[in-house]
Amino acid sequence: MTYKIIRSKRKTLGIEVNADGVTVRAPLRASEAEIERFVARHESWIEKNFKKAEERKKALAGITPLTPDEIKGLAEEAMRVIPERVGHYAKIIGVSYGRITVRNQCSKWGSCSSKGNLSFNCLLMLAPPEVLDSVVVHELCHRKEMNHSERFYAEVLRAFPEYYRWSTWLKQNAGALLARMGGKNEQI
């Protein structure tokens, strides 16, 4: 198996797989033998994810990237829609929040800072409204639980009982949405 090695000051070995190849990220002091053993231990994972990445690349080949004007339009729409959804669910969950920002990200759908500032991906405007609600509820519930514990998910389901249905939709369709902005790699 061929792979590219990138050495850095990191402490652990990692593998990145995309349709263009395999990259091993290694600590500066990792020996070639240690890297080869690591790759050999993960060979089936690498092959499985390489095949998935190739299939995803083929499936997404026909997707047209968004223009800068389209991205700007999505961001403007998000800044009209998302604050209303956040306000609605904040009352249900019983939490406050800080600033709301909208970004055009290639991987994250939302985030909540320790200060309560919320950030959302403008690509959510291309998904069903229930998907947006599931992300809004997820981030607002971090105002009560800054983790992904059972208590956290109990709060999420209390506020949005169909969370798993729409979270699954987002996982299944994330590749097509993200392809409009750029792809993502599988990583260990």
- At residue 183, the pLDDT reads 43
CB distance 71 to 187 below 8 Å: no
Per-residue pLDDT band for 182 (boundaries 50, 70, 90) equals low
CB distance 39 to 24 below 8 Å: yes
Query: Any idea which residue has 């609605």 for tokens?
Result: 88
C-alpha 65/C-alpha 104 separation (Å) is 13
- pTM here is 0.71
C-alpha 82/C-alpha 49 separation (Å) is 34
Do 32 and 76 lie in one domain? The reply is no
Do 126 and 144 lie in one domain? The reply is yes
Residue numbers of the domain that contains 9: 4-60
Q: Per the structure block, which two tokens stand in for 30?
A: 């990792």
Do 26 and 105 lie in one domain? The reply is no
Q: Is the pLDDT assigned to residue 124 strictly greater than 90?
A: yes
Residue partners of 163: CB distance under 8 A and separation at least 6: 134, 137, 138, 153, 156, 157
Do 88 and 137 lie in one domain? The reply is yes
Nearest to 113 by CA among 135, 131, 139, 132: 139
Q: Is the pLDDT assigned to residue 23 strictly greater than 50?
A: yes
pLDDT tens-digit readout, 137-165 = 999 999 999 999 999 999 999 999 999 99
Q: Per the structure block, which two tokens stand in for 53?
A: 């990445």
Do 8 and 78 lie in one domain? The reply is no
Do 75 and 116 lie in one domain? The reply is yes
Nearest to 110 by CA among 134, 91, 146, 87: 134
Do 123 and 143 lie in one domain? The reply is yes
CATH number at residue 128: 3.30.2010.10
